[in-house]
Amino acid sequence: MTILVTGGAGFIGSAVIRLAVSRGLSVVNLDALTYAASLENVASVASSPLYAFEHADIRDRAALERIFAAHQPDAVMHLAAESHVDRSIDGPSDFIETNINGTFNLLEAARKYWVGKGKPDDFRFHHISTDEVYGSLPADPSVKFTEETRYDPRSPYSASKAAADHLVRAWHETYGLPVVLTNCSNNYGPYHFPEKLIPLMIIKALAGEPLPVYGDGSNVRDWLYVDDHADALLTVLRRGETGRSYNIGGNSERTNLELVTVLCAVLDELRPSGQSHASLIRFVEDRPGHDARYAIDVSRIAGELGWRPSVTLDEGLRRTVEWYLDNESWWRPLLARKGAGERLGTKV
Ligand SMILES: NC(=O)c1ccc[n+]([C@@H]2O[C@H](COP(=O)([O-])OP(=O)(O)OC[C@H]3O[C@@H](n4cnc5c(N)ncnc54)[C@H](O)[C@@H]3O)[C@@H](O)[C@H]2O)c1
């Protein structure tokens, strides 16, 4: 089986590629190599005969058509996207161009290819999306996002992902393209670009710099270890029902303040610095439109496909801190990229 993975030089796409190759699947990594990408993320599989790389942009339809024709994939896993909410607040246009127009291009290129092959039933277009399309939940822990939750995106990022989800469903209903969709909660783990909360906090704490926590730190996220997400995605690709959506989450809700406090405790143990790293925590002006709470009901993927997260949050956070301690040569050069480590998302 050959899978065309878009965004495979990013955080989650690279985890999917490493896992797929380890399971004997052929992968074509299509990536535009934006600021968020690093080919080092896939260095461990780059020399495998199961791996190929195509430097291309999903906004370039001709390039997509050439790549489909050249590699004859059995499935597409579409992860390429602009993914940082704060950047979407400062500059939404890239999010519209890549996440909406790029997805449209990819759907059209996939449809042309699929029709040309005689519309095989077993072809799959797997669109990877976010729980942020559902908006924000109240504090009541019994209320979670299900696949039936009404879409209510509230940031340019989540609105662009919601639009893409609608396009993918429309291509299934209208043209019969065999699609599956997944909406996942916040991921964390190795190779996470240092602008996102967890790596940012680890790197700032190591430097003894203030740890900026938005608002009062009470926003709740449901965290999932990235390799568990990759496993869920390959499960849905293989066994998910065509035309169906699956929510993916970690059953691990924490406030941002709780999360940063745990990271500090792990760092206190692994890299003691005289004073607790938690003393570096500072509350800063909140993100505009900051969603209060996300939580995923995983009943569908658990009940229908038997998937469950395997890494607890405490174990995953420890592994992640250890990875950042051991891999400074990966993250240090990325700090020089535009905007990395800076406060973004305030230009309203
Ligand atoms: N990170 C999360 O917690 C999370 C949670 C749920 C869903 N998602 C979704 O998963 C996907 C991957 O997220 P991530 O965190 O790995 O993102 P990322 O920013 O780390 O990686 C995105 C990748 O897409 C590539 N890309 C961007 N624009 C492109 C374009 N026009 N053409 C080709 N490639 C392009 C980048 O170069 C990069 O390698 C996204 O679709 C995101 O919406 C992410």
Residue in 16, 29, 83, 256 to alter for ligand 1 test, most ligand atoms within 8 A of Cβ: 83
Q: What is the pLDDT of residues 190-224, one digit of tens each?
A: 999 998 999 999 999 999 999 999 999 999 999 99
Average pLDDT, the chain: 96
Q: Judge contact between 325 and 271, C-beta under 8 A.
A: yes
- What is the CB neighbour count within 10 angstroms for residue 122? 9
The protein residue with its alpha carbon nearest to ligand 1, atom 28, reads: 81
* Helical packing angle, 61-71 and 103-116, nearest 10°: 40
Tell me the pLDDT band of 121, cut-offs 50, 70 and 90.
very high
Mutate to test the pocket of ligand 1, among 11, 145, 160 (most ligand atoms within 8 A of CB): 11
One-letter amino acid at 307 equals: W
Residues designated as active site: 131-132, 157
| Nearest atom, ligand 1, residue 187 CA | 3
44: exposed, middle or buried (Cβ count in 10 Å: 0-12, 13-18, 19+): middle
- Which residues line the pocket of ligand 1, CB cutoff 6 A? 6-7, 9-13, 31-34, 36-37, 57-59, 79-83, 98, 102, 128-130, 161, 184, 186-187, 193
Strand pairing of 179-184 and 2-6? unpaired
Q: How far is the CA of 34 from the centre of ligand 1 (A)?
A: 10
Give me ligand 1 centre to Cα 322, in Å. 24
Nearest CA, atom 32, ligand 1: 57
Q: Ligand 1 atom closest to Cα of 12? A: 16
**Could you tell which of 5, 19, 59, 79 is best to mutate to test the pocket of ligand 1, judged by most ligand atoms within 8 Å of the CB?**
79
Sign, CA dihedral 280-281-285-288, equals positive
Residue 291, pLDDT score: 83
Residue located nearest, by CA, to atom 22 of ligand 1: 10
pLDDT in tens, 312-324: 999 999 999 999 9
Round to whole Å and give the CA distance between 232 and 226.
10
Q: What is the pLDDT of residue 267?
A: 98
Q: Are the C-beta atoms of 156 and 92 separated by less than 8 Å? A: yes
Question: What integer pLDDT is reported at residue 168 of this predicted model?
Answer: 99
- What are the residues facing 31 on neighbouring strands? 55
pLDDT tens-digit profile of 20-72?
999 999 999 999 999 999 999 999 999 999 999 999 999 999 999 999 999 99
Residue 345 pLDDT > 80, yes or no? no
Q: What are the residues whose beta carbons fall under 8 Å from the beta carbon of 254, sequence distance 6 or more?
A: 220, 221, 223, 262, 313
* CA 275 – CA 19 distance, rounded (Å): 39
CA–centroid distance, 31 to ligand 1, in Å, is 10
In this structure, CATH architecture of domain 2-188+225-252+294-311:
3-Layer(aba) Sandwich (3.40)
Round to whole Å and give the CA distance between 100 and 260. Answer: 33
Residue 171, SS3 per DSSP: helix
* pLDDT surpassing 80 at residue 338: no
d(CA 142, CA 334) in angstroms, rounded, equals 40
Kindly state the tokens that stand for 66: 């050439």
pLDDT higher than 80, residue 340: no
The residue written with tokens 């051991």 in the block is: 326
Beta carbons of 187 and 12 less than 8 angstroms apart: yes
Question: In this predicted structure, what is the pLDDT of residue 344?
Answer: 82
Amino acid identity at 228: D
Backbone angles phi, psi at 26, to 5 degrees: -85, 140
Length of the chain: 348
Give per-residue pLDDT as tens, 238-292. Answer: 999 999 999 999 999 999 999 999 999 999 999 999 899 999 999 998 888 888 8
Span 82-111, average pLDDT: 96
CA of 231 to the centre of ligand 1 (A): 17
Q: What is the structure's pLDDT at 285?
A: 87
In the 8-state DSSP scheme, what is residue 296? B
DSSP 145: B
Position in ligand 1 atom list of the atom nearest CA 15: 16
